[in-house]
Structure 1
């Protein structure tokens, strides 16, 4: 079956294409939310009487909440249905966006943006990938669908600074959250016609203890990274506590499996080598994307004194690059193996980060940012879709709830780590030694790109247009 053919018990081709629109828009607005605040650092800091680090914490918590709750969110889709979770997440997200728009101080902004929008995203994003996998079969058809969704996600993240900058300069940073609420309202209307091919199972068990352990472990690890520039011992203590909770989580999962109960996340998901390597590439991709976005945006505003619109315009190069390669995903999937596309993407991205670092530190002009950002955009757009396709296609329909939650959790963990690691390095020295801090932050992203390239090189070979061989 292809995307142009109706399923045996599903909607016709035209309806499938129409259902893809709200799913892609949902990925766009969630990715937009993760990056648009980067150009509002100075405006939010002044308006809410906070600091660059305060805004960084708000952004990181949003990304972290998504990562921590994405696995439980994916699991809930089996119990309550994918469409119901999708719409519920959108409504919660919209409430959070409106609360953020009227926030009087940083605490309310964190509640609205970081918590409510983060939880809403964790509910609505797994259904996007599960429904796409169920409705579109075949590598080319699924690559086309995921290509649109990944393109909208990548463009949302890359264009977030530009759109956020335009709104902030013309109106206020608060209107960027109103914009999010309006887009969410449109998605809710369009999403009412989304077809869920699998019935909900209200009797499906939900592993509450596993959800708490996994979420708490991830939160403590990222919190430890954020504390690195304040207290090294606190950083080590938080990371150690987080690692202990994750260890207890996996022990709990093994216990549940041995007793015949359904855990939050089955350990069998990690026995698929192809999927594991694909997850590593996803984590690296989003770490680089969000790390670059925060680092460059903060450097431009704090060090070079650019306003929101100037900062946003500079990121247009990355947006253009992402659009060019993401929208070509279907054609590329037919001509080149997915492994080759992912490898080429990491090479382009690594070169882009090096160019961005070399030109910016040696050239004061604004256009010095364009070549590097364009290459990063081209590289990320080239590999976002095949990475998702490799992971999702490694499992059957009955495992899509679990693998979708895991996949999105790993990707969003990469996003939060990108903002936490690169952002912490930058913030620690941005006032005293800005060039050195910028250089160190970007150097970390080069290392991550090389690690992603290594993981991609270990993926099994497959012919162009053919599925990867699961191991």
Structure 2
């Protein structure tokens, strides 16, 4: 492990890794301000663009754990570079899309698969290359901050690019950043050799991916066909149950499952995972619904919508910068509860002020509160989950944690977006936001069941020493 220090300077390694997390998070939210432009240019509907965004987030969630597992067989840097290359091809294809089908192929599939390949190596390489606790904590803090800012700043950057040039230029921007990461990443050296003999649970990977896809597609079908929605939801649940049983059987037979079923027997971790899923559901659900409402119902353009979202960006950035200081003074449980309370209150303020003062500035206070709330609880939730396991299980729980976060993002866009696009009225907007607030209460309840004094103040998030 100490040998990793001789490969490259830590700062030189951290830049491409943090940039990779930034661009992947950016890709998950920047399309929200392009809804009108893309739907008009590609002769489709806002619902079509919603499906594109949801599938992108869903592909990431479905393949994140398998993406972490294959790094052992083929090497962390090799998977990182391959993921970047695939992502770049997807970005270029998206920029040149003549229709929605090609956009889904480029953005949802190629960029989604590329992200699932490159994100696990980001965390694994960071753990391997930053071997002492203080430097590792700072490195993960920088990477998580880059991801949070990327998700929050996506609407502003995307809006500026779309208004100044075109929505297609936003994908060119992504491709250029990918090229920069590839150039900077050449100095990274993998401290551990690949293990081609490492087993891979293909059945578990396929079943878990199919189950998640069926479940989320069921939610997307809600506004068109209730019977189809119910069928897909039931099928998704059954396939996920089959996946769990398959992994448990493989584990009992002495094999290596996609995820050890023992991780699901940890009560504290399960509660932490619920808070993680809910946080990203709230962040991405709010981002899509507010952006779509402002553009389609209120008639704002991409840059105006992006400027409004700077309030959420500012809130998330401020709370992220204060995360380390807050962790030293307050328990993880307290911070997570406070984050949910602030986020739910932000949704209430967003609806209350916008209904009374339908002006350009009416959304700012609510979005600021939402950004502050989400930023306060992101890191503590990761800490709670990671610190619930020993070093030997960090790889598995880290992959599961990232999978759950991405699943929350896709569910947020699917659930709240489906409610909004059903009618695109002020009432639908209110219904979508109230639904998000209700889901936020579920996350708050999970946080309140966490043990008091859990995870001593200041403990940095532990990341995987190696995948699996």
SS in 2 for 1:408: helix
Count, aligned residues: 460
**Match in the other structure for 2:442:** 451
Q: How does 1:11-410 map to 2 (within 5 A)?
A: 11=5, 15-136=9-130, 141-410=135-404
CA distance in 1, matches of 2:220, 2:133: 40
Query: Offset of 1:269 from its aligned partner?
Result: 1.5
Establish whether residue 419 from structure 1 lines up as the match of residue 413 from structure 2: yes
Query: Offset of 1:132 from its aligned partner?
Result: 3.0
CA distance in 2, matches of 1:193, 1:467: 26
SS in 2 for 1:368: coil
CA contact (8 A) 1:140 1:330 kept: no
CA contact (8 A) 1:143 1:386 kept: no
Give 1:440's match in structure 2, choosing from 431, 450, 458: 431
SS in 2 for 1:366: coil
CA contact (8 A) 1:65 1:119 kept: yes
CA distance in 2, matches of 1:119, 1:361: 40
CA contact (8 A) 2:7 2:188 kept: no
CA distance in 2, matches of 1:142, 1:371: 35
Going from structure 1 to structure 2, the CA distance change for 1:235 and 1:159 (only over 3 Å counts) comes to same
CA distance in 1, matches of 2:395, 2:73: 10
Going from structure 1 to structure 2, the CA distance change for 1:457 and 1:258 (only over 3 Å counts) comes to same
Q: TM-score, normalised by structure 1?
A: 0.93
Instruction: Please give the per-residue CA displacement for 1:57-112, whole angstroms capped at 9, x wherever unaligned.
Output: 10101001001111111111222222221111111100000000001000000000
CA contact (8 A) 2:140 2:461 kept: no
Going from structure 1 to structure 2, the CA distance change for 1:274 and 1:129 (only over 3 Å counts) comes to farther
Going from structure 1 to structure 2, the CA distance change for 1:60 and 1:327 (only over 3 Å counts) comes to same
Query: Offset of 1:387 from its aligned partner?
Result: 1.7
CA contact (8 A) 1:144 1:330 kept: no
CA distance in 2, matches of 1:381, 1:282: 12
CA distance in 1, matches of 2:377, 2:82: 30
SS in 1 for 2:5: coil
Going from structure 1 to structure 2, the CA distance change for 1:450 and 1:144 (only over 3 Å counts) comes to farther
CA contact (8 A) 2:5 2:130 kept: no
CA contact (8 A) 2:62 2:212 kept: yes
Establish whether residue 464 from structure 1 lines up as the match of residue 422 from structure 2: no
CA contact (8 A) 1:346 1:449 kept: yes
Instruction: Please give the per-residue CA displacement for 1:181-205, whole angstroms capped at 9, x wherever unaligned.
Output: 0111111122222343433221110
CA distance in 1, matches of 2:426, 2:134: 45
CA contact (8 A) 2:20 2:181 kept: yes
SS in 2 for 1:152: helix
Going from structure 1 to structure 2, the CA distance change for 1:136 and 1:429 (only over 3 Å counts) comes to same
Going from structure 1 to structure 2, the CA distance change for 1:319 and 1:153 (only over 3 Å counts) comes to same
SS in 1 for 2:9: helix
Query: Offset of 1:379 from its aligned partner?
Result: 1.0
CA distance in 2, matches of 1:390, 1:359: 35
Q: Which moved more, 1:392-401 or 1:298-307?
A: 392-401
**Match in the other structure for 1:4:** none
CA distance in 2, matches of 1:185, 1:24: 14
Q: Any stretches of 5+ residues in structure 1 without a counterpart?
A: 1-6
CA distance in 1, matches of 2:125, 2:60: 19
Going from structure 1 to structure 2, the CA distance change for 1:292 and 1:201 (only over 3 Å counts) comes to same
